[in-house]
């Protein structure tokens, strides 16, 4: 039986112009350039979530490249030499990739991330306003969360999921419970970790909330109306309210979907079967995936 990584690899159709390695470049990534550049002077760094499948990130990146955007697909964990869990993952991986792109003459560098990748995108954008000028966060969170590893089961760590300049970023404790995850997943008939995050999203101390107001450019948030994996719709409202309170100087657009899962990407993946809404409404969910994809392209063209 093929693994998810093997299935994703089998469907890759583009050859990267350049591949980056940890020893030489300080990060692992793959640069893709479109045949026709529809976004001159712009490039996007893309990264996935806690599935850890780098080839799935590249597969998603290909869809945007085919529509004219230069994309650097970035691996930040679960590859040789990188952290094997969310344990003080260095945000500097994003910084190194952004600096390389700026060195190649790209005037604008944006970020696209999903799930834990959305957490990373919002964190990186807030920490590097001089380098990053747009953030697209798919199924976002408003907090920097507790570190964890996924071996035979999920295990909480006494540290932050992400680090910056060698130090833990301020983090909020999660209610990671194998029993609760099993119970809620049975009830929802989907992989469900919502209860692990809900209190943290609602009540995180100020120090653990992502300083999204420091992002130096427009922000696009895309998410399901009800996200069983974590409460991304609540987090998006928290982000929107924070930006308004802080008099954010740039546009922020929020788009929610009734029929969508935590895999709100323009790629058909077997991972979607983990979610009941995807099994029950596959056509509507795919339409939501493609609408989010198209709205992202328009946002990058007209707002960024």
Left, alpha or beta for 185 (phi > 0: left; psi -120 to 50: alpha)?
Answer: alpha
What's the pLDDT at 2?
A: 46
State the number of CA atoms in the 13 A half-sphere of 53 facing the CB: 18
pLDDT of 4 reads 43
Residues in the chain with pLDDT values less than 50: 1-9
pLDDT of residue 175: 94
Q: What is the pLDDT of residue 154?
A: 86
Angle (CA) 195 200 201, round 5° = 90
Q: Which of 48, 47, 49, 55 is nearest to 6 (CA)?
A: 55
- At 5 the pLDDT is 44
Q: Report the pLDDT value the prediction gives residue 269, as an integer from 0 to 100.
A: 78
Structural domains of the chain, with CATH: 4-144+161-167+210-302 (3.40.50.1820)
Q: Within 10 Å of residue 112's Cβ, how many Cβ atoms?
A: 30
**Is 158 in a helix, a strand, or coil?**
strand
Residue 10 has a pLDDT of 53
């Amino acid at each position: 039986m093929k693994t998810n990584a093997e299935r994703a690899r089998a469907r890759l159709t583009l050859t990267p112009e350049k591949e980056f390695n940890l020893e030489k470049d300080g990060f692992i990534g793959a640069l893709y350039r479109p045949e026709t550049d529809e976004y001159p002077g712009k490039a996007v760094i893309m990264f996935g979530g806690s599935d850890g499948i780098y080839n799935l990130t590249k597969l998603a990146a290909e869809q945007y490249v085919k529509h004219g955007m230069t994309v650097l697909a970035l691996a930040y964990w679960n590859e040789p030499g990188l952290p094997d869990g969310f344990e003080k993952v260095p945000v500097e991986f994003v910084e190194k990739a952004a600096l390389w792109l700026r060195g190649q003459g790209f005037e604008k560098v944006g970020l696209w991330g999903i799930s834990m990748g959305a957490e990373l995108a919002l964190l990186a954008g807030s920490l590097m306003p001089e380098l990053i000028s747009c953030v697209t966060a798919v199924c976002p969170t408003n907090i920097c969360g507790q570190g964890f590893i996924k071996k035979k089961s999920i295990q909480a760590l006494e540290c932050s999921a992400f680090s910056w300049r060698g130090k833990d970023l301020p983090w909020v404790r999660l209610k990671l419970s194998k029993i609760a995850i099993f119970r809620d997943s049975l009830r929802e008939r989907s992989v469900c970790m919502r209860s692990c995050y809900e209190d943290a999203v609602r009540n995180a101390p100020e120090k653990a909330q992502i300083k999204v107001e420091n992002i130096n450019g427009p922000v696009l948030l895309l998410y399901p109306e009800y996200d069983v994996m974590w409460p991304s719709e609540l987090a998006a409202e928290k982000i929107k309210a924070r930006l308004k309170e802080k008099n954010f100087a740039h546009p922020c657009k929020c788009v929610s979907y009734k029929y969508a899962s935590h895999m709100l990407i323009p790629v058909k993946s077997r991972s979607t079967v983990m979610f009941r809404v995807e099994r029950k409404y596959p056509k509507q969910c795919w339409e939501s995936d493609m609408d989010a994809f198209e709205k992202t392209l328009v946002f990058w063209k007209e707002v960024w």
